[in-house]
Structure 1
Amino acid sequence: MMSSLLAASLIVALGQSPESVSTEPAPPEDDFLQTRLSFLAGDTDFGAPDANTRFHVALDARTTELASGLHAEASVSVFINPFAITGVTLEDNASSFGLRYRPSSWAPGERLALTVFPVGATRLYMGYENPVAWARISSMTRRGNDGEPGMELRLSRRRWDAFVAAKVPSLENGVTSDYERRLVLLVGAGLNLSPALRVEAEAANLDLGPAGAIKTGGRESDIYTRGVSGRVMWRHGVPVGANVDLELYEGDPAFFERFFAPDVYPGGVGAHVALEGSYISQQLLDTDSAEPGAVRNQTARAAALVTRFKWDRLRLHGLAYYRTPSFLVLANPGFPLEGTLYEQMESLAELSATVGADYFLQDLGLTPGLLVRVTAPASLRTRVPGDLPFYRNPLLVGSRGLVSFLPEGESRQPIFTAKATARWDLGEVAGVLAELFYTRNLNRTTIADGDTGEATVVWDSPDIVGGNLLLQVRF
């Protein structure tokens, strides 16, 4: 549970990459050097012994002009994970280096940029709002220890931008059990139809290599993931920053770099509305086929609606999203592993809605907030009787493809969350983030011995209270 929280701390409500229609000023052209030290202490459940801490160190650097309009940039981003038994471990967080070129005739903010991620390229992915993003990691179960490096070439102009990117993860060949470099290709473009309206589209192809030999009878049955994402975004008035919500925004490595960027409160009204969707087709082993190595395409879908409104120092925000069970297991890949969902399974998509508000107290630099969320988790239920728990008990599918059982004959119930948040900006050198939340989850279960001695799924306490504290110092 705590590992999910720690990953969630990477992504607070800021989406994917900086948007081309941003009203922020262009970065300065002179050299630049900044260091950020962050400390996270969190506990997803005060009633369970899973509290933990984590450190993050980041260094961003940019040179002066190497040639006319040409700059070099580098970003080192590393987690320091303390463990009682093994000591301290270091974990890369998509560190990068690259070149940025802007001819003198181009406007500020326009550029041609080449970025290389030598260890991990989780900053390259599909989708926009983090809960419905995909392709950050090619495969959670088949990747090796050699990282997932990547490279992106991006051209940004005043009215439009486009990119092409590639990642080369080290994935296990299911037939030979050797680790091989596979290819992931991503392309995308965006167009500003007006100062307020923008449209974007992306596409990706992930080659995950052959499935396991035992399941395919020794045949090379390749697994592929192919899909498209698109978004329409409208803005009006003053810029509206994103709210604080650690749980939903899991896996974004840009969190520590961008979360403490201050919002602006010049007075007046501002609005932001974005609607996005993704459609993915994944070639997996056909679970319903008796022929070893038979494959079948399985579709996955996700969508999200983001709304933000600002009136002077008051901000209102909302997020609704939809994710099919097949979308939640994309990175496994599949369920059962490397396979399609059984055709006789009843599949219910995850539905979630969040609304909240916060208010900026300028004299204190403090932004307290509240939010409420209701979520119906994704579920699977077989329509064919059987003796195994897989057939008797409904399944709930969560983020990262984690699966839990419900008691036999039960159905999913909505999950309610209420959260109090606070952001405290201490000038330009430090910041503090704190949140305290209560969740009532009537789907929580555990395993216990039944009357016959057989392991049985039973209900667990539905009430959860947790919290997080994040500190950052910049110099």
Structure 2
Amino acid sequence: MKTLQTLALTGLLSLSAPAWAGDFVDTRLSFVFADDNVLAGSGETTPNSPNARFGAGNQNTQFYDNFNTKFSGFESLSNVVLYKRAPAFFEGLTTEAALTLLVLERPAGGVDIRDNSSYIRLNYQPPGWGEKEGISLVGFPVSADRFRLGYAYRISWGGSDVFTTRSATNGVPGAKLQITRDKWYAYVGGKTALVQNELILEEETLYGVMAGAGWDILDTLRVEAGGGYFQKGLVPGLATLGVEAPVNAAGISGQVVYHVGVPVGTSVDFRLYKNDPDIYQRFFAPELYPGGLSYSVSLEGSYLSQTLEKPDEFGATQPQGATALALQARAKWNFLRLSLLGLYRSLSYIQFNVPGFPPFQDFPDGTKLKPEMFLALGADYHFPKMHFTPGFVVGVQQPASFRSPTPVLGGNNPPEGLIGTRTVVVRDVNQLSVLPEVCSKSNSVCQAQPIYSAKATFRWDLSDSVAAVGEVYYTYDNNRTTFRDDITGVAQPTFEDPHALGFNTLLQARF
């Protein structure tokens, strides 16, 4: 970590005197001892659940965790920002640049360094406009992933992966033009990606266009909306057969926020791109308790559509719609915090960036689809003299699932264990659980069952930079399955024990 601090300090000292420097290194270091399921040992569940160990990952989280970030919370990582702002040679124009890097430590000891939407910005402030008003042009030279549509990270879209994972090698740069006034803003922007065209076996440029606006109708009420259009290339399977079938996507998102006593917050993963270092927010800053009542309620919705291969007609495509809704409510009264979180995602929304399931295909006619829905309630109370914060979270989830009239798993020649139609539970992008063909003594069709979860938490701040964190959670999930050989030696989906009891203990340092 000293290397990172030296890097930031060197960049700061190298800046010329008239410039405004806003460099920082924001670090979270996590030491974890955890077990995602103490009721199971190695090889007894799918995915595998080893015994208690040092280290943890997404398997140690619940469906309501990390709604506004892509990280599990157990990572050791740093956000390194080298920032420079200087007045231009022309009146009213200001120039800015920020090199933003994510430094992520891997369990094996390696370190990944990634661009975190570094940018160059030109801001023009017309005569008479306020200090925080202006017309800005922002260029993202490497990655425009943080330039997204949507507001809660879990259902945001339009990031680099909207062009599918085939665009990762060459990156997805972009640009954004925005007008910011005291009570409203509006923007338009675009991205490009290089993706191989399987018809001509050469890379081609794919384009994405985005636009949006927001208006503070009252000091306590904000309304926002945005939309976009993206090219995703050709359906690979059809292109190899000489059929040109383009995949294009479009959608709109909107949000209404009512807030009293607290500003409108942003997703943790959206915070790094800021137009002014005055409003840089530390990712890992401790919670503040100013006293009194404050609360915010937001309701967000998105509708997307993309063209995918029609499975029942060779060479044809058809649009597939996708919807998502998110409700977030937070309240703080002195040292008490309450939260309510609700989510609705159609299965097509979950698989939107793949795109589809199987990839680049719509669901066959007659497929029975069920969306993901969950509701979670949490509360905690801070004891300032002890620097101690206990809390709890309870939630129930109906996971997304589908049952196709024809087999869609196992390819054209599926193994015996996947012959026939089955209910498939989709927990997240490409995270599947195949249920047995029939359930119960009545031989009824297996259906996805609700998942129940409860978690007790505590946080004990030992100093300004180090805290001890603990979690104990119980989950009842009757959709857990694995493949085991039946009496004929054929591997078949088999239910596992639905009960899981786990814990996470952490020492976390932030600086």
1:88 aligns with 2:78: no
Q: 1:181 to 1:461 in 2, by over 3 A?
A: farther
Aligned residue runs from structure 1 range 76-475, under 5 A: 76-82=100-106, 84=108, 88-99=110-121, 101=123, 103=125, 105-136=128-159, 137-214=161-238, 217-238=241-262, 258-289=282-313, 291=314, 293-383=315-405, 389=418, 391-409=420-438, 410-423=446-459, 435-462=471-498, 463-467=500-504, 469=506, 471-474=508-511
Moved more, 209-218 or 189-198: 209-218
In structure 1, what is the equivalent of residue 86 of structure 2?
A: 65
Asked if 2 retains the 8 angstrom alpha-carbon contact of 1:320 and 1:354, the reply is yes
In structure 2, what is the equivalent of residue 21 of structure 1?
A: none
Unaligned runs of 5+ in 1: 1-28, 243-248
In structure 2, what is the equivalent of residue 36 of structure 1?
A: 26
The one-letter amino acid of 1:399's match is: D
C-alpha distance in 2 between matches for 1:375 and 1:267: 33
**How big is each residue's C-alpha offset from its partner over 1:42-80, in whole Å with a ceiling of 9 and x where there is no partner?**
657255239457432222233353335624241422233
Q: Equivalent residue of 2:348, what SS?
A: helix
Deviation at 1:258, TM superposition (A): 4.5
Asked if 1 retains the 8 angstrom alpha-carbon contact of 2:143 and 2:171, the reply is yes
C-alpha distance in 1 between matches for 2:85 and 2:268: 35
Asked if 1 retains the 8 angstrom alpha-carbon contact of 2:119 and 2:138, the reply is yes
Q: Equivalent residue of 2:218, what SS?
A: coil
Deviation at 1:370, TM superposition (A): 1.5
Deviation at 1:448, TM superposition (A): 1.2
Asked if 1 retains the 8 angstrom alpha-carbon contact of 2:29 and 2:510, the reply is no
Deviation at 1:111, TM superposition (A): 4.0
Moved more, 446-455 or 338-347: 446-455
In structure 2, what is the equivalent of residue 3 of structure 1?
A: none
Instruction: State the TM-score, normalized to the length of structure 1.
Output: 0.82
Moved more, 451-460 or 293-302: 451-460
Deviation at 1:116, TM superposition (A): 3.4
Deviation at 1:132, TM superposition (A): 1.9
C-alpha distance in 2 between matches for 1:166 and 1:156: 18
Deviation at 1:302, TM superposition (A): 0.5
Asked if 2 retains the 8 angstrom alpha-carbon contact of 1:172 and 1:179, the reply is yes
**How big is each residue's C-alpha offset from its partner over 1:114-152, in whole Å with a ceiling of 9 and x where there is no partner?**
433333322122211122222321244433422222233
Aligned residue runs from structure 1 range 17-32, under 5 A: 30-32=20-22
C-alpha distance in 1 between matches for 2:177 and 2:419: 45
**How big is each residue's C-alpha offset from its partner over 1:353-394, in whole Å with a ceiling of 9 and x where there is no partner?**
011112233335444321111110001012458995264321
Deviation at 1:197, TM superposition (A): 1.2
Question: Please, what is the CA RMSD of the aligned residues?
Answer: 3.2
C-alpha distance in 2 between matches for 1:450 and 1:334: 32
The one-letter amino acid of 1:98's match is: I
Deviation at 1:216, TM superposition (A): 6.8
Asked if 2 retains the 8 angstrom alpha-carbon contact of 1:240 and 1:271, the reply is no
The one-letter amino acid of 2:326's match is: A
The one-letter amino acid of 2:456's match is: A
Q: Equivalent residue of 1:193, what SS?
A: strand
C-alpha distance in 1 between matches for 2:461 and 2:386: 8
Asked if 2 retains the 8 angstrom alpha-carbon contact of 1:378 and 1:398, the reply is yes
C-alpha distance in 2 between matches for 1:331 and 1:56: 26
C-alpha distance in 2 between matches for 1:254 and 1:444: 37
Q: 1:38 to 1:360 in 2, by over 3 A?
A: same
In structure 1, what is the equivalent of residue 4 of structure 2?
A: none
Asked if 2 retains the 8 angstrom alpha-carbon contact of 1:198 and 1:232, the reply is yes
C-alpha distance in 1 between matches for 2:508 and 2:133: 33
Instruction: State the TM-score, normalized to the length of structure 2.
Output: 0.76
C-alpha distance in 1 between matches for 2:223 and 2:308: 32
Asked if 2 retains the 8 angstrom alpha-carbon contact of 1:153 and 1:165, the reply is yes
C-alpha distance in 1 between matches for 2:130 and 2:507: 37
Moved more, 431-440 or 252-261: 252-261
Deviation at 1:239, TM superposition (A): 5.2
Q: Percent identity?
A: 32
Unaligned runs of 5+ in 2: 1-18, 42-48, 57-73, 274-279, 439-445
The number of aligned residues is 436
C-alpha distance in 2 between matches for 1:425 and 1:449: 50
Q: Equivalent residue of 1:327, what SS?
A: helix
Asked if 1 retains the 8 angstrom alpha-carbon contact of 2:209 and 2:228, the reply is yes
In structure 1, what is the equivalent of residue 15 of structure 2?
A: none
Q: 1:236 to 1:56 in 2, by over 3 A?
A: same
C-alpha distance in 2 between matches for 1:443 and 1:251: 31
C-alpha distance in 2 between matches for 1:468 and 1:101: 46
The one-letter amino acid of 1:398's match is: R
Asked if 1 retains the 8 angstrom alpha-carbon contact of 2:433 and 2:479, the reply is no
C-alpha distance in 2 between matches for 1:431 and 1:93: 29
Asked which structure has the greater CA Rg, the reply is 2
Asked if 2 retains the 8 angstrom alpha-carbon contact of 1:278 and 1:303, the reply is yes
C-alpha distance in 1 between matches for 2:508 and 2:101: 16
C-alpha distance in 1 between matches for 2:365 and 2:35: 35
Q: Equivalent residue of 2:229, what SS?
A: strand
